[in-house]
């Protein structure tokens, strides 16, 4: 019975990490870079993404925001 509880806890942590990774991928950037970075760093405490991958995720999010702003301005 103890092993089943341990497996459930491990699955729960995996689910939390997967959920945090998904939230990191779609975290909106709203003109406040400090707030955005804090949100990403907090989610990364569960996801455990490496620095290189986290940097790419942040760059992708910022590029999407910049592209949207440019397309709205035209």
| pTM beyond 0.85, yes or no | no
Largest CA distance in the chain: 63
Q: Are 24 and 43 in contact (CB under 8 A)?
A: yes
> What is the phi/psi pair of residue 19, to 5°?
-65, -45
Query: In the chain, what are the domain boundaries?
Result: 2-73
Could you count the other beta carbons within 10 Å of the beta carbon of residue 4? Answer: 8
Contacts of 45 (CB under 8 A, 6+ apart): 20
Q: What is the mean pLDDT of each run of 10 residues along the chain (74 residues)?
A: 45 80 88 89 92 88 75 65
Helices in 26-50 by DSSP H: which ranges?
33-47
In this prediction, residue 45 carries a pLDDT of 93
């Amino acid at each position: 019975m103890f092993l089943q509880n341990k497996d459930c806890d491990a699955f729960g942590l995996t689910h939390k990490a997967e959920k945090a990774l998904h939230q990191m991928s779609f975290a909106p950037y709203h003109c406040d870079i400090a707030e955005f970075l804090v949100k990403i760093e907090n989610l990364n405490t569960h996801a455990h993404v490496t620095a290189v991958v986290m940097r790419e995720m942040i760059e992708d999010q910022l590029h999407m925001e910049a592209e949207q702003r440019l397309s709205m301005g035209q």
